[in-house]
C-alpha cells in the first residue's frame, strides 16, 4: 500500500513538474509565436507560361557598381547585390561588362545579400524591413513572395544545407529568423518563418553579418564585439571585444588557418579606418595581434575603399568593396599565402 502511494505521489510529482515545464515552454513559444505572427507573407499571382514568355529581361543600366555588398554564384549564375543602386544583377559571365548583366530585382531599398537553396532565391530588402522571394522559370527570375516585418533592417541572409534552413539577421535587434520552404498552391515553394532566435549581446547595436564556422556561429557587431554561439541553437558561448580602431566590424570568414575580418569603421564611425585583417583566433583579434591586409589585397587602389563581404566559388575567393573605382576583387589563398589578386569589376 505504502509502495503504491509512493509510486502515485512520484508519478503525480512528475506530472506536476512536467506540467510546469510545459507552461514555461508554451510561454516561451508564445513569445516567439507573437513575433512570427507579425510577419506578413504575400504570395504574388501565378503567371501562366505565356505570360512568362512575354516578360522582358532588363539589362543593367549602370556602368559601375554603387556600394556592392555581396557576390555569389548559385548553380551556373553569378549575382551581385548592388546596394546603393537598389538592385540585384546576374550574369553567366562574372567578367562581363556590367551593362551586359541582367536585372533580377530593382524593387528593393539598399538590400545587402542574396541566398538560395536551388529552388527559391531570397533577397534581404533592408530599408523596407522585408524579404523578397524569387523563383526561376526557364531563364527568367520571377518575384513570387514578399515577407514583411522581418525585424529591423534585415541585413544578411544565408542558406545552410545541413539544417535545410535560411538564416536571416535583423541587424538592429539581434534576432535571427529561421526560414524554410514548403509546397504551395500558389507557387512551387512557399517560404515561412519557422523560428526566431535572439542574441541578447547584440540586441541594441548594429550587427552587419554572421558566419557559420566549424559548428559555431559568429556575430560581428559595430561596437567591436564578436559573439561566438552554438549552432544551430544560437546560445552564446563567449564574447570578444576588439580594439576601438577596428570596432566597426562587417564580416568574419575562415580561410585555411586564419580568420579574415572586414572592417568598415572605427568606434567613432570613421570610414578612413576601413580595412581587412586576419588572425588565427578570436583572442588574437581581441588582443590586437592581427595582420592588416589592406595594402596586400588592393595595392593599386586609386583611393580609400571599404572592404565588405567575402565569398568563395569557382576555386577562388572574392571581396566586394566600395568607396572607390572598383567593387569586386578575386584572390587565391594557398598555404596561407594570398596569391593572384585580380580586379574583376
Range among 37-46, 124-133, 314-323 rated most confident = 124-133
C-alpha to C-alpha distance for 345 and 343, rounded to whole angstroms: 6
Structural domain spans, the chain: 41-343
Kindly tell me if the per-residue pLDDT of 220 is higher than 90. yes
pLDDT of residue 187: 65
Query: Interior CA angle at 199 toward 291 and 270, to 5°?
Result: 45
- Report helix, strand or coil for 100: helix
Fold of 41-343: Neuraminidase (2.120.10)
The percent of residues above 70 in pLDDT, for the chain, comes to: 89
150 sits in which H/E element: none
pLDDT of residue 265: 95
Query: What pTM does this model have?
Result: 0.90
Sheet with 306-313, side-by-side order of all strands = 306-313, 316-322, 328-334, 337-343
User: Measured in Å, how far apart are the chain's first and last C-alpha atoms?
Assistant: 84
User: pLDDT tens digit string along 243-288?
Assistant: 999 999 999 999 999 999 999 999 999 999 999 999 999 999 999 9
pLDDT of residue 27: 46
Kindly tell me if the per-residue pLDDT of 14 is higher than 50. no
pLDDT of residue 300: 65
Q: CB within 8 A of 233, min separation 6: which ones?
A: 197
Task: Point out the least confidently predicted range of 141-155, 178-192, 292-306.
Answer: 292-306
pLDDT of residue 301: 59
The mean of the pLDDT values for the chain is 89
Amino acid at each position: 500500500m505504502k509502495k503504491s502511494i509512493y509510486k502515485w505521489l512520484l508519478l503525480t510529482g512528475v506530472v506536476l513538474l512536467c506540467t510546469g515545464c510545459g507552461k514555461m515552454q508554451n510561454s516561451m513559444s508564445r513569445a516567439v509565436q507573437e513575433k512570427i505572427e507579425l510577419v506578413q507573407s504575400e504570395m504574388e499571382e501565378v503567371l501562366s507560361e505565356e505570360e512568362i514568355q512575354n516578360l522582358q529581361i532588363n539589362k543593367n543600366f549602370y556602368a559601375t557598381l554603387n556600394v556592392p555588398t555581396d557576390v555569389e554564384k548559385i548553380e551556373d549564375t553569378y549575382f551581385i547585390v548592388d546596394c546603393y543602386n537598389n538592385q540585384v544583377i546576374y550574369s553567366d559571365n562574372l567578367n562581363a561588362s556590367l551593362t551586359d548583366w541582367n536585372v533580377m530585382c530593382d524593387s528593393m531599398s539598399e538590400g545587402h545579400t542574396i541566398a538560395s537553396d536551388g529552388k527559391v532565391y531570397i533577397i534581404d530588402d533592408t530599408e523596407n524591413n522585408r524579404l523578397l522571394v524569387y523563383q526561376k522559370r526557364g531563364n527568367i527570375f520571377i518575384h513570387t513572395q514578399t515577407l514583411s516585418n522581418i525585424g529591423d533592417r534585415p541585413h544578411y541572409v544565408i542558406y545552410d544545407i545541413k539544417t535545410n534552413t535560411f538564416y536571416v539577421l535583423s541587424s538592429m535587434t539581434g534576432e535571427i529568423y529561421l526560414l524554410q520552404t514548403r509546397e504551395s498552391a500558389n507557387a512551387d515553394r512557399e517560404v515561412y518563418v519557422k523560428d526566431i532566435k535572439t542574441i541578447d549581446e547584440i540586441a541594441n547595436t548594429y550587427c552587419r553579418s554572421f558566419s557559420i564556422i566549424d559548428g559555431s556561429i559568429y556575430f560581428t557587431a559595430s561596437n567591436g564585439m564578436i559573439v561566438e554561439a552554438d549552432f544551430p541553437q544560437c546560445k552564446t558561448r563567449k564574447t570578444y571585444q576588439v580594439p576601438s580602431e577596428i570596432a566597426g566590424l562587417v564580416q568574419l570568414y575562415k580561410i585555411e588557418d586564419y580568420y579574415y575580418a572586414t572592417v568598415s569603421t572605427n568606434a567613432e564611425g570613421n570610414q578612413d579606418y576601413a580595412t581587412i585583417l586576419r588572425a588565427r583566433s578570436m583572442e588574437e583579434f581581441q588582443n590586437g595581434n592581427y595582420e592588416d591586409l589592406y595594402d596586400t589585397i588592393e595595392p593599386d587602389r586609386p583611393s580609400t575603399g571599404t572592404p565588405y563581404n567575402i565569398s568563395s566559388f569557382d576555386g577562388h575567393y572574392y571581396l566586394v568593396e566600395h568607396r572607390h573605382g572598383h567593387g569586386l576583387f578575386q584572390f587565391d589563398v594557398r598555404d596561407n599565402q594570398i596569391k593572384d589578386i585580380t580586379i574583376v569589376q
